Amino acid sequence: MTDQRPWLKNYPKGIPANIDETAYPSLLALIEETCKKFGKKPAFSCMGKEMSFEEVDRYSTQFAAYLHSRGLEPGDKIGLMMPNLLQYPIALFGSLRAGLVIVNTNPLYTPREMRHQFTDAGVKAVVICENFAHNLQQILPDTQIKTIIITSIGEMLGFPKSMFVNFAVRTIKRMVPKYDLPNTVKFKDALSQGKKFTIKPFEACPDDVVCLQYTGGTTGVAKGAMLTNQNLVANMMQIRAWGTTAFNVGDEIGLSPLPLYHIFAFSVNCLALFSLGALTVLVVNARDLPSVMKEFKNYKITCMTGVNTLFNALLNQPEFAGLDFSTLKFALGGGMAVQKAVAEKWQKVTGKPLVEGFGMTESSPVASVNPLDGSGQLGTIGLPVPSTEMRIVDESGHPLPQGETGEIQIKGPQVMKGYYNRPEATAETIKDGWLCTGDIGMMHEDGYFQIVDRKKDMILVSGFNVYPNEIEDVVITHPKVLECAAIGVPDEKSGEVVKVFVVKKDNSLTEKEVIAHCRENLTGYKIPKAVEFRKELPKTNVGKILRRKLREEHA
């Protein structure tokens, strides 16, 4: 394997070439060990309320016993549908303790999207925040759900804070539409009832599916990636190995503005950092930028995760530059490409690197990362993590030499078992053990990988490939541009031409200025033929810009 991995020679000192993915038989074994090891240390914090590893251990045990008392069996599916609250890790670890399969669900889903995910997965139980219960009511008869556990935003914050928060959410902001659901139980009542019951024993095997993580749905119908104990344990250990020289076990404070139901924060913040004894600071709503910045004042943050749009938005807040970044070691960007201009500005403002990584839901998700010490290469997705192979292939699946452009493929213990109930889609995506990412990239001589673009987003202008990322990277450097996205639109002469959608930072910005700026930096066929100004761009709940939505709107 080593001679196939030219990147190993550029690994930072102290990082192993391989991990032992068999070190733990299950994710549960690792969680139980972690809770005992760090005991009274704080594990999670939300709105100023902290919860220790010991409490996570106790509450999740009670929750598991409650689930078994309701007749749920190992292998049954449970939907977790809430923003970043203390209830999330309790429900997650409790469900694993009961042998259930987690189905992480975006709480902002429409009833149609919820119906698809819950029926496709065969969900039998759900933990849902009351703010979204009215949507569940509309689709409940179409599902197999029999156990409904309702929680509120303030529920675990302790008296009197819980009362004030819930009063504000329900009465002042009116964020909880009326709902009528049968046989619901409150989250805290489930915990207290769980004290009366015990967990029925079951055997957890490395190959057992423990999470059905639905792919973002940015490309067609959402499919459930089957992630096993071994997949998630391996990725946690890969993340931990990559942080060997950066992390101090038991001392880290990680900021998690990204929702834990998203695979990036789920694996990096909720699992890997947890296993290192870190305190994870949860932000309920990442779009509320003052609440993200407030945590830098409340805690000595040592690392944070985010997506490009969040980092860009923070950098455009006048008060952000005045925060104390002295304890921050790095920020980790994933979920979408980190724009060079944003990474450079982040380094300038905070004095710390914005490190780009790469992965997919199907790879649990981390496949490659730049070194965390800032010695990586801007504009690349870094080096493959330990025990991972990556390669570039042509249209026929044949490996290409360094420097040539083709599809990125991944092989490693973190690659999913397949898509749930979709053997054809699995066969299309995993070929001879290689995960076909659908991303177009190249490998440099030193083993660093670079993404050129998504296969599906590529624009074809008069037979020339144009990659939207390149256009966006140029447009975003204009001082009057806040955000942008590029798509291909049909054209009689050239097949397609480039169109950009721009959110202004300065209202005086004109179409002429945008095009003139592109003309300075791009070759003729790449220059946008149309510019449309928008107040905002369509995004997933994690902040990933949806080019597909822009193409649909244009059509």
3-state secondary structure of 180: coil
Cα→Cα distances 258→292, 310, 350, 387, Å: 10, 9, 20, 27
Spatial distance between the Cα atoms of 369 and 356, rounded to a whole number of angstroms: 6
Closest by CA position to 89, among listed 266, 299, 252: 266
Which domains does the chain carry? 27-204 (3.40.50.980), 457-554 (3.30.300.30)
3-state secondary structure of 273: helix
CA 456 to chain centre: 20
State the CB neighbour count (10 A cutoff) for residue 318: 6
Per residue of the chain (555 residues), give pLDDT as tens: 445 799 999 999 999 999 999 999 999 999 999 999 999 999 999 999 999 999 999 999 999 999 999 999 999 999 999 999 999 999 999 999 999 999 999 898 888 889 999 999 999 999 999 999 999 999 999 999 999 999 999 999 999 999 999 999 999 999 999 999 999 999 999 999 999 999 999 999 999 999 999 985 434 578 999 999 999 999 999 999 999 999 999 999 999 999 999 999 999 999 999 999 999 999 999 999 999 999 999 999 999 999 998 999 999 999 999 999 999 999 999 887 888 999 999 999 999 999 999 999 999 999 999 999 989 999 999 999 999 999 999 989 999 999 999 999 999 999 999 999 999 999 999 999 999 998 999 999 999 999 987 777 888 888 787 889 889 999 999 999 999 999 999 988 888 999 999 999 999 999 999 999 999 988 888 999 999 999 999 998 888 899 999 999 998
Cα within 13 Å of Cα(231), Cβ side: 27
Strands 464-466 vs 459-461: parallel, antiparallel or unpaired: antiparallel
**For residues 445 and 9, is the Cβ–Cβ distance under 8 A?**
no
Q: What is the 3-state secondary structure (H, E, C) of 85-148?
A: CCHHHHHHHHHHHCCCEEEECCCCCCHHHHHHHHHHHCEEEEEEEHHHHHHHHHHHHHCCCCEE
Closest by CA position to 37, among listed 250, 243, 242: 250
Spatial distance between the Cα atoms of 111 and 164, rounded to a whole number of angstroms: 29
In terms of phi and psi (left: phi > 0; alpha: psi -120 to 50; beta: otherwise), the region of 552 is alpha
- DSSP label at residue 11: S
Closest by CA position to 370, among listed 315, 451, 469: 451
Strands 495-504 vs 449-454: parallel, antiparallel or unpaired: unpaired
pLDDT of residue 3: 56
User: Encoding tokens for residue 396?
Assistant: 């026929």
Strands 184-186 vs 147-151: parallel, antiparallel or unpaired: parallel
**For residues 302 and 328, is the Cβ–Cβ distance under 8 A?**
yes
pLDDT of residue 216: 54
**For residues 488 and 466, is the Cβ–Cβ distance under 8 A?**
yes
Q: What is the pTM of this model?
A: 0.90
CA 509 to chain centre: 33
pLDDT of residue 2: 41
Return the H-helix or E-strand segment holding 536: none
User: Encoding tokens for residue 529?
Assistant: 């033929």
3-state secondary structure of 503: strand
**For residues 256 and 269, is the Cβ–Cβ distance under 8 A?**
yes
Q: What is the 3-state secondary structure (H, E, C) of 339-404?
A: CHHHHHHHHHHHCCCEEEEEECHHHCCEEEECCCCCCCCCCCCEEECCCCEEEEECCCCCECCCCC
